[in-house]
Structure formats: C-alpha cells, structure tokens
Amino acid sequence: MPARFDVRTESEGAVLLDSLSRPLRDLRLSVTDRCNLRCTYCMPREIFGPDHQFLPKELILSYEEMTVLVKAISGLGLHKLRLTGGEPLLRKDLHRLIQMLRTELGEEMDIAMTTNGILLAKHADELAKAGLNRVTVSLDSLDDEIFRMMSDTKAEVADVLNGIEAAKNAGLGIKVNCVIRKGSNESQILPLVNHFRNTGVCLRFIEYMDVGNSNEWSLEEVVPASEMIDMINREFPIQPLAASHVGQVAKTWEYLDGAGSLGFITSVSQPFCGDCCRARLSVDGHLYTCLFASKGTDLMSPLRQGLSEKELAELTSEIWRKRDDRYSELRGKLGKELEKVEMSYIGG
C-alpha cells in the first residue's frame, strides 16, 4: 500500500510520525479562553455565566512565550498555524503576536485565524499588515433572530458581514464556517450558499459535534453532510473535488456553473482521523493531540523553568510519537462518561 504521507521533510530529515504514521503539520494556538459570544453549542451561558472562572492572568502565555513554543514546535514539520480561542480578537494587540510569529517562522508558514468576526472590521488591516494570510469567519445565519438565538448575543449579522468585507479589502484569504444544528438553523443553508456564491469566499458547513461537556450534544441534532449536499444540489448543482492535500479538514465541492467552491466538515458522519495532522496548544501552554482529548501535556512549566527551544522540541516529539488519538472514529464506543476539554479553551 503506498504511504499516505511523504516521509521526508524539506531538510531531508526523517519526518516525525505518531503511532498511526501521521505527521505533525498543523498547529492550532488558542490565544484566549474568553469570548464575546455565548454560542449555545460551544459556551452555553448556563455554564459560562458571570461566575465562570476563566484562566487567571499568571497562567496565560505571553506573546513572547507563545512565540518560543510555536517556534520550537514548528521545526517538527509544521506547515500551518491557526490562531483561535475563545475569541482571538479579544486578546489585546493581537497583531503584535502575528508580527512576532511571522518574523520567527518566516514567509513560508501559512498563518490563519478563526474568529467570530464581530471585531474583525476594526482589526483586519493591522492583522494583514502584520503577516496574517487568511481568516476563517464563523457565521451560522444570515437571519438576525436565528443568529442572536444561536450565539446568545445582541450583536448583528451585519457586524460579521462588515468584518468579512474588511478582511477582503485588507487582502486576506477568507473562509466562512457555519455549524448546522438540527432544529436551529437548517433554514439558513440555502440563503448562506446563495449569499457567498460568486464572492471568492469558501463557505464550509460543519456537522454539529460533541465537543466538550457543556452542550448536551445528541446525534439527533446532527444534520449529516450528505443531507446538506442533497439540499444544495437541488438548487445549485455541485460536484465533489479531489482533496488538494492530505489532512484537508473539509471535503470540497464546486458549483457546476463556476460560482466557486464550498466545503463540508464531516467529523460525525465521515470521520477523518486517519489523516489528522493537528496538534493544539492551549492558552495555558498545554499541548493536546486531539480535539476530544481529556488531558494535555504542560509545556508552560518547562518553558518557564528555562528549557531551550531544542529541549521543548524534543519534549513535543516524544508526545507526538506516542499519539494514537482517533476519537471521531471511535465515537459511541468510548462510553459517555469520558471527560473532554472545552473547545473554547483548547481552540477550535
């Protein structure tokens, strides 16, 4: 059987592989565990209310510390870095972090950010100038009432659309993520498709996932991608495209009339753990090797104790070599009692 992954790095060293032969290509860096929205499927207000204890300042990585850790990990074969959270734009002067990362990681590194877009109009320009390549903006509805209900906010859809426009004007690549939750926003699938066709923005529908322990997920609330595809195909004919790279999260389709492409993230109906090259670094410096992990490894303490970049890289290699995570493929077989970290903490 041909190897799924190229096993040489650019520098011709042997590539670091986990126990299921997956390389480490993609790092998600959570820059805050706080958020200005309370999406019911991610940070329900009953749990993330006024009494919720977010991480105290002393346990949060500084931009300097983040840069050292990411630089150490980047040497292990990283191609892509995504800033996320929580809401990354709540972190003060985020462009300063992007500038530091760009300087340390070089022009080749793909640096992206996932955001709810509420504060994007204000910051798009400075983020692009600092070296950010792309943004993924989350938007679950074009209808204000549904948007406010799902994100439990007083903000408006127009705030997010203005953010997308500003990102476009700043020259950033743009994707839009939309979580579909049955009974809440299936009615928005076609309006969103219609809105983003012919705009150069790649719209991606995400199956509602059982992340964290707070959203009381049930399989009945998942709309499988196959249903979404049928619905869209009836109005706007589409066809599947071949994956452009191994480890691609979304399955990409294109409109037959040339209106662009769209994607589906099928974590529930068609898990893609076999190609998963992602690690996550939480804002308190813990490395997680799966979105559904219950425990991460503390890299903040060794960093603060003065370990060198090389030693931090060795520590990460050890963790990655042992990695055997494939939660989505085992979903339903692991028992309900499994404690998982929250997505707003680990980074989506």
Judged by the rule CB under 6 A, the positions of this chain that interact with ligand SF4 are 35, 37-39, 42-43, 85-87, 116, 138, 151, 272-273, 276, 278, 290-292, 325-328, 344
In SS3 terms, 10-56 reads as: CCCCECCECCCCCECCEEEEECCCCCCCCCCCCCCCCCCCCCCCCCC
Residue 348 makes contact with ligand SAM by CB under 6 A: yes
Minimum CB separation of residue 347 from ligand SAM in Å reads 7
Please, are residues 153 and 37 in contact by the beta-carbon 8 Å criterion? yes
Nearer Cβ to ligand SAM (42/170): 42
Residue 69 interaction partner, one of ligand SAM, ligand SF4, none, beta carbon < 5-8 Å per kind = none
Residue 115 interaction partner, one of ligand SAM, ligand SF4, none, beta carbon < 5-8 Å per kind = ligand SAM
What does the alpha-carbon distance between residue 331 and residue 320 come to, in Å, rounded to a whole number?
22
Among 74, 84, 266, 289, which residue sits at the site for ligand SAM (rule: CB under 6 A)? 84
**Which tokens in the block code for residue 164?**
């997308």
Residues 33-72, one symbol each (x = binds ligand SAM by CB under 6 A, - = not), give: --x-----xx------------------------------
Work out whether the CA dihedral 50, 56, 59, 63 comes out positive or negative.
positive
Please, are residues 207 and 219 in contact by the beta-carbon 8 Å criterion? no
Among 32, 40, 115, 141, which residue sits at the site for ligand SAM (rule: CB under 6 A)? 115
Minimum CB separation of residue 289 from ligand SF4 in Å reads 8
Residues 170-229 that bind ligand SAM (CB under 6 A): 177, 179, 206, 208-209, 211, 215
Residue 264 makes contact with ligand SAM by CB under 6 A: no
Q: Is 259 exposed, middle or buried (0-12, 13-18, 19+ CB in 10 A)?
A: middle
Amino acid identity of residue 242, one-letter, is A
Minimum CB separation of residue 213 from ligand SAM in Å reads 11
Residue 266 makes contact with ligand SAM by CB under 6 A: no
Minimum CB separation of residue 319 from ligand SAM in Å reads 23
Tokens 């493929």 map to which residue? 329
What does the alpha-carbon distance between residue 206 and residue 189 come to, in Å, rounded to a whole number?
11
Cα three-residue angle 216-276-88, rounded to 5 degrees: 60
Residue 176 interaction partner, one of ligand SF4, ligand SAM, none, beta carbon < 5-8 Å per kind = none
Question: How many other C-beta atoms are found inside a 10 Å radius of the C-beta of residue 49?
Answer: 10
Work out whether the CA dihedral 20, 26, 31, 36 comes out positive or negative.
negative
Minimum CB separation of residue 21 from ligand SF4 in Å reads 13
Residue 138 makes contact with ligand SAM by CB under 6 A: yes
**Which tokens in the block code for residue 257?**
């009339």
Nearer Cβ to ligand SF4 (67/267): 267
Please, are residues 24 and 287 in contact by the beta-carbon 8 Å criterion? no
Collapsing DSSP states into helix, strand and coil, what is residue 264? strand
User: Interface residues with ligand SAM (CB under 6 A)?
Assistant: 35, 41-42, 84-85, 87, 114-116, 138, 177, 179, 206, 208-209, 211, 215, 343-344, 348
